[in-house]
Copies of this chain bind each other. A is one copy, B any other.
Amino acid sequence: MISFKNDYNNIGHPLVLEALKSASNNYFDGYGLDEESKEASSLIQKYIKKEVDIHFLIGGTSANKTVISHILKPYEAVIAVDSGHINVHETGAIEANGHKVLITKGVDGKILPEEIKRVVSAHGDEHMVKPKMVYISDSTEVGSVYTKSEISNLSKICKELDLYLYLDGARLGVALMSDDNDLTLNDIATYCDVFYIGGTKNGALFGEAVVISNKKLKESFRYSIKQNGGMLAKGFITGIMFKALFTNDLYFNLAKNANFMAANLTKGLEDLRIDFKCKFKTNQIFINLKEEIVEELKLNYSFEIWEKTITFTTIRLVTSWSTTQKMIENFLQDLKKTISKLK
């Protein structure tokens, strides 16, 4: 069974595992106060000009929950597109911490400046929540990426409207390595108040690096991590993994492979004249197939059924650092065969 199901379907990259193995005879301080975590932070800091605070958390929901809970007052709300992860796929984790998620329509998974303005102006008094943060993700839920001009514009609007800008980087690696990207880590730290660099979906066993670049938001963040259940006793493990990922550009190279494989797969699908639901240059591919074809493919490949209409089924194919050219070729051949057979 070859897996295109997601980018968190195996243990982790060999170099990450190797780093853990190498450190297995050492003793470390607990709760993220160790030297490994400090060194990992330094390696990330190198990419960013302004001085930031970096904290290693255990997962995406935990990171989102902790960041938003840390920043907002009880009556303040966060704006997101309706497909945003915090809105749909976190079982109300943000609301469980007391905050409303204000939703807007997006385009290609991206939030629109005019929509932010509209939401803010529709919330004018104390009978409504007070919008105070914009949540975006890069790459987005559908695989698109923000451009430098888009992010700098969002940042400008947020400053005007007294909103914080928070970027969920669960898939930041493939975003930054995308052919459509013109942003650097430093740009992101410049334009966003907080963001996180996702490890889980790019080679780590788990772990996300929360980067706080707005000075005002740095204080007491470790209290929020602990209270939200996200402070690992063996925090040094996350430190060691991020150290490995930010040594010799491993993090970026893994993402590059994911995108490269996705590009090859896209090319092959185009050659087969497959219908794309949408097309972006990161590691998620959404295509529309007849249901019989999907059923046939499921015998040898795993992937997610995204949605079903009367005429076709949309499936999502995800590549990662571990996807190989051979896997792509097998899939394309089998797809071709299946199409011929079922014609």
Binding site for B on A (CB under 8 A): 1, 3, 5-6, 8-12, 14, 17, 20-21, 23-31, 58-62, 65-66, 69-70, 73-75, 77, 88-93, 95-101, 126-130, 200-201, 205-206, 220, 222-234, 236-237, 240, 302
Write out the residue numbers on chain B whose beta carbons fall within 8 Å of the beta carbon of A200.
233-234
- Closest chain-B Cβ to A229's Cβ sits at a distance in Å of 4
Q: Which of B28, B227, B237, B302 contacts A92 (CB 8 A)?
A: B227
Could you tell me if B24 and A21 are in contact, using CB atoms closer than 8 angstroms?
A: no
Write out the residue numbers on chain B whose beta carbons fall within 8 Å of the beta carbon of A236.
11
Number of this chain's copies in the assembly equals 4
Could you tell me if B237 and A61 are in contact, using CB atoms closer than 8 angstroms?
A: no
Could you tell me if B10 and A231 are in contact, using CB atoms closer than 8 angstroms?
A: no
Closest to A62 in B: B229
User: In the bound complex, what is the Cα–Cα distance between A312 and B120 (angstroms)?
Assistant: 23
Could you tell me if A230 and B229 are in contact, using CB atoms closer than 8 angstroms?
A: yes
Q: Which of B66, B98, B240 contacts A229 (CB 8 A)?
A: B66
Write out the residue numbers on chain B whose beta carbons fall within 8 Å of the beta carbon of A59.
58, 229, 231-233
Q: Which of B90, B99, B126, B237 contacts A206 (CB 8 A)?
A: B237
16 contacts between A and B (CB under 8 A): A11-B23, A14-B24, A21-B21, A58-B58, A58-B229, A59-B229, A60-B233, A70-B74, A74-B92, A75-B224, A90-B127, A92-B99, A95-B95, A95-B100, A126-B226, A229-B230
